[in-house]
Every structure is written in C-alpha cells, then in structure tokens.
Structure 1
C-alpha cells in the first residue's frame, strides 16, 4: 500500500504541495489527474524518493520512501522526461538494470524486446521518443516491480503499442498484485483501467475516490417540463446548467435516486440520465463549466 499524509513542499517561497493526502490500495491501479502545474510531477518525485518533503510522510508498506534502498529495489518508475546513458544501447541498459534490481527477469526482457520489435544494439539516444518510451517500459517491467509509478506513460505511442503497454500492466496487477500509480492527461484511457482516481489542483488533493463511486454521485441529465412550478431543480446540487430551447442540460452532484425523485415530482415530458465520462467529471469538479469546452461536451 502507498500512503501519503499531510505532504507539504515549497520551492523558493512557492507552495507546490499543500497538506496533501493520497492512498493507493495494494494490487490496484490509481489514476492521478490534474491541470498543468497542479503538482503531479512534484508529487511523483516525492513518491519515488527523488525529493524530500518539507513536512508530511510518504510511506510504502508503512516504511518511509526517501533513502530507502529496499523499497526502491521493488519500485519501477518511468518519468515523462526519460534519461538514458548516452552511449548505451538497449542490451547494455538491460545489463545495468539486472545489476541493480534483484528481481530482474531476463526471459521476460528477451520476450518483450521481440514483442515490441526493438533493436537491442542501437544506441537509445538514436531512438525516437516513442521508441525510448517502449525501451523504458521493457526495462522497467523486466525488473518485476511490486510498485509501478508512471508519468505520462503512453504519450507519443501509437494505439497498438498503447494497448500492449496496458496489457502488461493489467496482467501484472492481476497476477502479481502489482500496485500502480499513473499520472496522465489521457483521461479516456485511464477511465478504462483505473480502480480509483485522485484529482489534484493547485497542489491540493481535491477528490480521491473509487472510480465507480465517483461516477455514482455525479450525473449528466437532459430534461424538459410542460409546466414546472418555481425552480424544478431546488434541492439538487447543480454544477452546470445550459438551456437549449425547452430542454435543459445539467451536471448534478447527487445520488441518482435523489435526482430521479426530485425531477419526477415535477412530471417532466423528457428526462434522460446520460453517460458521464471521467473527462467531464474532471472538468466540472474543477469548475470548468464556464469554459468554451462545454460546447463540445454537450
């Protein structure tokens, strides 16, 4: 289990993270999302022991991460900005990884190289960005991590390779109970694989919930009334409302049964509860309802 408690971090007077808490269950996939500059990468650098917090605790299996070699030997980390030794090829990098990760799996490495169709003898510095991401993924997954931390892992990858990456991750979670935290702007793909979501904004954790639970409390509806007395939405937590002719489109944060009860009491002529994506939840939870993107969502 990964646990962060009351984390604070400042850089030259700028508060990057404030009283931040995070919980990732063992054997689960946790999606970390947020706007640009929200503090996601700073949080990940604390979680991987690169940065030391000003205050708070970063714990894996109840042990502090910073300067903890035993934990780091069981952790895989793929940053958004990759770094490789300039003169190394993939085969030489694998030899280096095998010397520092005690659970290195040479057979998996050899199989993945063939599956991703990469040239072991070509310098990694000559690889494209997408190929470097694949190389980093092969090396990391071959170290058989118990904890996998990913920062924009599929950025720059084609759809076939993205599917293969997620396949390996999901299988290791299912078979080895690997614990995963992934930060990404690709909310549609996170929605398909994550068990829980943390929404970060301005260095603070705004929401941390199981994905299914999060979706159960926020809804998109379209509704029209022939004759509605007063405010037909009184008693509902309306995050956004838009009218198109006689039809209202709303984003509402309430339990579904509460929404249905209040709307049905007004005898609507049209009432539909529409599917709501993680992307829409993210936008409206962070107050983006007045942004021009709302026209796309509806």
Structure 2
C-alpha cells in the first residue's frame, strides 16, 4: 500500500529531518504515528501526500510516486492537516464543489457523520469553531472512501465527547482495502483506536509494530505486581508507578502506549531491541 524507501528529507540539505528512512504500511490497519515535537511527524505525512519532495529516496502509495501528484493518486488519498484554511462556503456547498474529485464519495455517509458530530451542513465553514471545522473535514475525508486517509493531529480542538465520537467513527471507517494514518502528540486520544504503533525519533522509524505483537513481548503493569529485577522501564503516572517488563507468562494484556512512548523516547534501547 505505502512504501517509503531510503527517504532523505530536509527543508535544507544542511539540516535533515530524515536520512535513509524506510517504512511499509499495509491496507486494513489504523496506524498511530507518534514522535516528540519537532521529530518530523507532519513532514513525513506531507511526503506521503506528495506535498513536499525527497532529497533522495522515494514515497510510493499504491505504486504511485507521491511527489508526481497524478490525478489517479490524488483521487485515492485524502489528507487532513493540523491547520485548516476553509473557504467561505457551507459544508453542503463544499461537498458539491469538491466531492466529484473522488469517484467513491458517499454523500449519505457524509451527512450521517455530520449529524453524528453535531455539525450543521448549512453553516458557513469559516464561522464554525475550530473543533467544528475539524469534524466537518473529518466527515468529508472519510466519506471520500479513498484508499489512504492521513490525519495530522485530528483531535486538536475536539472536546471529550467529540473525541469519543471520533474514535467510533474512524474505527467504523476502516476496511480491508483502506490504510488510515493518525499522527498525534496526544497519545491517549488513540487509545482503543489504532492497531499498529509507529514511533519516529532521531531521523528514523524506531518502532513499527502491531499492538498484539507488543503485548505478546512486553507486560505493562504496576510496580507492586512485578518483580523489580524484571522491570525494563518505570514511569510515574501521578496515580502510582507503572512499569514495562518482559512478558514471561504468555498472556497478552493492554498496551500502555504513553508509557511505551516515554520509554522509547528516553532512549531505552532494551525495549527497542525486544520489539525489533
């Protein structure tokens, strides 16, 4: 579905964000892309969408070179950036002027999602709050039924009930033919939504694993429930001390993505090696 090969990119050759980065993503998955501020998450997504161009290497989506921006590529990809600049039209008018670029657009699904998000189809988009604008564009993007959906910080501006609704709607939009990528710095917003975790750090992908694989190899629990000698990483949640240790009992449990992200970005090489 998506294949990034030896990607080298920087906004100047003297300051590279990525060097020889490789990544493969398959259809039928919701990927969560995590990284510290400045790690290059948004830039990686822009490379996948063909909005910026590699210095070296390639980004291919369904066999198309993203940077070529061919019509056949564009009609199978929808990108929702972190910042929105919407025209002076209603959601209904936006649909009528834009939906024809996407052959598989589902008008009924669009209006249904607007209703679930409690967004008016007949209010001017520019007059909506930022959160309402985000929900309108998420509804439109999912209604395109493109093979690839890329969302950069989609939950920014959403209140707690809207975040819950977002997770439900996005999960229901996944099909075996669709690849969904969600980038966020709010790890808990991806809870119970993604099935594969990607971590970007130090110009490279240091983790690209399914949550099932992670839970098979690592155990996430409180410090009181595990032998201290087995602990690989310890983090204070404010409500107690949580740990990551090697899963020795063969039972899969819930992955604490925030704890795992903190462990990886702190440079815990033992955990990175276990998940390779």
TM over 0.5: yes
Instruction: State the SS of the aligned residue for 1:122.
Output: coil
Instruction: State the SS of the aligned residue for 2:157.
Output: coil
Partner of 1:266: none
User: What is the Cα-based RMSD across aligned positions, in Å?
Assistant: 3.0
Instruction: State the SS of the aligned residue for 2:38.
Output: coil
Superimposed CA distance per residue, residues 187-243 of structure 1 (whole angstroms, 9 cap, x where no aligned partner): 223231212111111321111111121233333564799xxxxxx94xx6844599x
**Could you say if the C-alpha distance between residues 143 and 288 of structure 1 is closer, same or farther in structure 2, counting changes exceeding 3 Å?**
same
Partner of 1:80: 82
Partner of 1:283: 262
Partner Cα separation in structure 1 for residue 215 and residue 225 of structure 2: 23
**Could you say if the C-alpha distance between residues 241 and 60 of structure 1 is closer, same or farther in structure 2, counting changes exceeding 3 Å?**
closer
Superimposed CA distance per residue, residues 78-99 of structure 1 (whole angstroms, 9 cap, x where no aligned partner): 11111212x2222221112223
Partner Cα separation in structure 2 for residue 241 and residue 50 of structure 1: 38
1:153 and 2:154 aligned: yes
Partner of 1:189: 189
- Counterparts of residues 124-135 of structure 1 (less than 5 Å): 124-135=125-136
Partner of 1:256: 248
How does the TM-score come out when normalised to structure 2? 0.83
**Could you say if the C-alpha distance between residues 191 and 109 of structure 1 is closer, same or farther in structure 2, counting changes exceeding 3 Å?**
closer
Task: Using the TM superposition, name which of 95-104 and 31-40 deviates more.
Answer: 95-104
Instruction: State the SS of the aligned residue for 1:11.
Output: coil
Partner Cα separation in structure 2 for residue 113 and residue 241 of structure 1: 39
Partner Cα separation in structure 1 for residue 242 and residue 115 of structure 2: 50
Partner of 1:137: 138
Partner Cα separation in structure 2 for residue 134 and residue 89 of structure 1: 13
Superimposed CA distance per residue, residues 25-47 of structure 1 (whole angstroms, 9 cap, x where no aligned partner): 21111110011001100000000
- Counterparts of residues 225-236 of structure 1 (less than 5 Å): 233=229
How does the TM-score come out when normalised to structure 1? 0.77
Partner of 1:105: 106
Partner of 2:3: 3
Q: Larger C-alpha radius of gyration, 1 or 2?
A: 1
1:68 and 2:60 aligned: no
8 Å Cα contact 1:218-1:281 kept in structure 2: no
Instruction: State the SS of the aligned residue for 2:208.
Output: strand
Instruction: State the SS of the aligned residue for 1:6.
Output: strand
Unaligned 5+ runs, structure 2? 269-276
Superimposed CA distance per residue, residues 144-192 of structure 1 (whole angstroms, 9 cap, x where no aligned partner): 2221111111122123222222222222214x63210110122223231
Task: Using the TM superposition, name which of 41-50 and 53-62 deviates more.
Answer: 53-62
Partner Cα separation in structure 2 for residue 99 and residue 275 of structure 1: 42
Partner of 1:214: 214
Equivalent pairs counted in the alignment come to 261
Offset at residue 274 of structure 1 (A): 9.3
Partner Cα separation in structure 2 for residue 124 and residue 99 of structure 1: 19
